[in-house]
Amino acid sequence: MGRRRLRSAAAAVVVAGTLAGCGVSATGRPAQQGQQPAARAPLATAVSGTGASWAIVRLAGAGGVQDPFWQLLISTGGGRWRLVTPPGVADTGGLAVAAAPGGTLTAGFLPSELLTFTPLAMSSDGGASWSQGLLSVPLAPEPDALAALPDGRLLAITARSAEMSSPHARSWSALVTVRALAASPAGRACGLTALTAAGAGPGGAPLLAGDCGRPGKVGIFTSAGGSWQAASLALPGSLTGQRIAVLRLASTGTGAAALLAAGTGRQQVLIPAWATGHRTTWTLGRPFNLNDRQVESVSVGTSDQWGLVLSGQRGAVLGPAAGPGATWQTPLTLPASTATLLPGAGQITAMAPGDSAVAVWQLVRGSGWHQTQLISVPAISGSSG
CA distance 146 to 97: 6
User: How many C-alpha atoms does 309 have within 13 Å on its Cβ side?
Assistant: 26
Q: Given 3-state DSSP classes, what are the helix, strand and coil percentages for the chain, each rounded to the nearest 5?
A: 10, 40, 50
What single DSSP character describes residue 113? T
pLDDT surpassing 60 at residue 321: no
- Report how far apart, in Å, the C-alpha atoms of 368 and of each of 163, 332, 348, 349, 352 are: 44, 11, 11, 12, 16
Say if residue 381's pLDDT is above 50: no
Are 145 and 95 a contacting pair, CB within 8 Å? no
pLDDT value for 116: 83
Question: Higher model confidence: residue 323 or residue 266?
Answer: 266
What pLDDT is stored for residue 344 in this prediction? Answer: 86
Edge-to-edge strand ranges of the sheet holding 82-83: 82-83, 69-75, 53-59, 45-48, 295-300, 306-310, 314-318, 332-333
pLDDT digits (tens, 9 = 90+) for 349-371: 999 999 899 999 999 877 889 99
Residue 3 clears pLDDT 90, i.e. is over it? no
Residue 59 to residues 66, 286, 358: CA-CA distances in angstroms?
Answer: 11, 34, 8
pLDDT of residue 384: 41
Sorting pLDDT into bands at 50, 70 and 90, what band is 159? very high
Tell whether the torsion through CA atoms of 191, 248, 254 and 83 is positive or negative.
Answer: positive
List the single range of 23-37, 137-151, 310-324 with lowest mean pLDDT. Answer: 23-37
Render pLDDT for 79-112 as a digit per residue (tens, 0 to 9): 899 999 998 777 888 999 999 887 899 999 987 7
**pLDDT tens digits for range 50-85:** 778 999 999 986 555 556 789 999 998 778 999 999
What's the pLDDT score for residue 335? 97
Residue 353: asked if its preceding bond is cis (omega within 30°), the reply is no
Instruction: Write out pLDDT tens, residues 117-129.
Output: 999 999 999 999 9
Contact status, residue 88 vs residue 21, Cβ threshold 8 Å: yes
pLDDT band at 379 (very low <50, low <70, confident <90, very high): low
Considering the chain, what is the average pLDDT of its residues? Answer: 82
Tell me: pLDDT of 35 over 80: no
300 in Cβ contact with 317 (< 8 Å): no
